[in-house]
């Protein structure tokens, strides 16, 4: 279904704009994604927006036209509007010409199939949406099954996290749970929990990783709590040869994920 919105005071504009706030996203189970690249990645992953807004004054890219047709065929709304209204929705002065409203993509931890991937990423109390989005991109790059967010992490459906994920939000399973729920689920089946820590002398390349490996990354400022480290099967340290004592959380996740991937690849 196609229609047009021209007024800033339109109730739908206000509703979509409200999705920039976590409380409204949680209440409605919806979030915003913007831009042709991210939304095309979503479509290729099988996710279509429930509402698609586009700037009527801009000639659509062929991929944008294909996306609009797919949304039409799915029975969802395609809404023409102005670039200024898109800016109001997204909160950016130089807004993209496409904004989509998607249903959130949380997966219950008990619905995960741990055997479906060799690598799973786990983040505890992650605070930075840029780090979260980058970890999702890393997960996509190494063929991880998804990202398990433990305890009170930043919202994976915030505008900033969605942008930083560059579409990987739609290719990775995303779980939110408490530590006890996660560790109970993990120990109910096969899988090794590998934590990154400064409290060990074991180099990250020393262990022989097996599938599935669950890579646990701690909070950006504090790292992992001591009892979480004690629950790990293996603790490893990435060597730091300069003055810094640790890597950025997203960088550490990428280094670890590629080490596991490369080991498993070499062993066939």
Structure tokens at 149: 């967010």
Q: Confidence band (pLDDT; 50, 70, 90) for 89? A: confident
pLDDT digits (tens, 9 = 90+) for 188-218: 999 999 999 988 999 999 999 999 999 999 9
Pairing of β 98-103 and β 30-34: antiparallel
- Domain ranges, ordered by start, for the chain: 2-103, 109-266
Q: Which homologous superfamily does the CATH classification assign to the domain defined by 109-266?
A: SPOUT methyltransferase, trefoil knot domain (3.40.1280.10)
Confidence (pTM): 0.93
Measured at the alpha carbon of residue 17, what is the angle toward residues 15 and 22, in degrees to the nearest 5? 90
* Tokens 């967010």, residue located: 149
pLDDT band at 245; cut points 50, 70, 90? low
Give 115-166 pLDDT, tens digit per residue.
999 999 999 999 999 999 999 999 999 999 999 999 999 999 999 999 999 9
SS3 (DSSP) at 172: coil
Per-residue pLDDT tens digits for 56-74: 988 889 999 999 999 999 9
Residue 128 is predicted with a pLDDT of 95
Mean pLDDT, rounded, for 84-92? 86
**DSSP for 185-203, written as a single string:** HHTTSS-EEEEE-SS---B
| Closest of 123, 188, 172, 131 to residue 150, by C-alpha | 123
With residues binned 3-state (H G I as helix, E B as strand, rest as coil), the percentages for the chain, rounded to 5, are: 40, 20, 40
Q: Is the pLDDT of residue 47 over 80?
A: yes
Q: Quickly state the pLDDT bin for 174 (edges 50, 70, 90).
A: very high
CA 131, CA 170: separation in Å to the nearest integer? Answer: 17
- Asked: is 2-103 a CATH 3.30.1330.30 domain? The reply is yes
């Amino acid at each position: 279904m196609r229609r047009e919105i021209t007024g800033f005071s339109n109730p739908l504009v206000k509703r979509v704009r409200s999705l920039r706030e976590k409380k409204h996203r949680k209440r409605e189970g919806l979030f915003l994604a913007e831009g042709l690249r991210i939304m095309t990645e979503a479509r290729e992953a099988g996710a279509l927006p429930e509402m698609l807004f586009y700037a009527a004054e801009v000639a659509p890219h062929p991929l944008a036209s294909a996306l609009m047709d797919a949304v039409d065929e799915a029975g969802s709304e395609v809404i023409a509007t102005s670039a200024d209204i898109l800016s109001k929705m997204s909160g950016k002065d130089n807004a993209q010409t496409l904004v989509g409203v998607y249903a959130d993509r949380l997966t219950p931890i008990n619905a995960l199939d741990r055997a479906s991937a060799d690598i799973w990423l786990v983040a505890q109390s992650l605070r930075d949406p840029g780090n979260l989005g980058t970890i999702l991109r890393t997960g996509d790059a190494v063929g991880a099954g998804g990202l398990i967010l433990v305890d009170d992490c930043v919202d994976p459906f915030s505008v900033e996290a969605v942008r930083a994920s560059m579409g990987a939000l739609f290719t990775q399973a995303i779980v939110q749970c408490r530590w006890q729920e996660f560790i109970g689920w993990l120990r109910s089946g096969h899988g090794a929990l590998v934590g990154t820590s400064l409290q060990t002398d074991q180099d990250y390349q020393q262990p022989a990783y097996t599938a599935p490996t669950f890579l646990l990354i701690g909070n950006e400022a504090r790292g992992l709590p001591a009892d979480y480290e004690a629950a790990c099967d293996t603790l490893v340290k990435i060597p730091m040869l300069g003055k810094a004592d640790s890597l950025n959380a997203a960088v550490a996740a990428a280094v670890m994920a590629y080490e596991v991937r490369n080991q498993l690849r070499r062993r066939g």
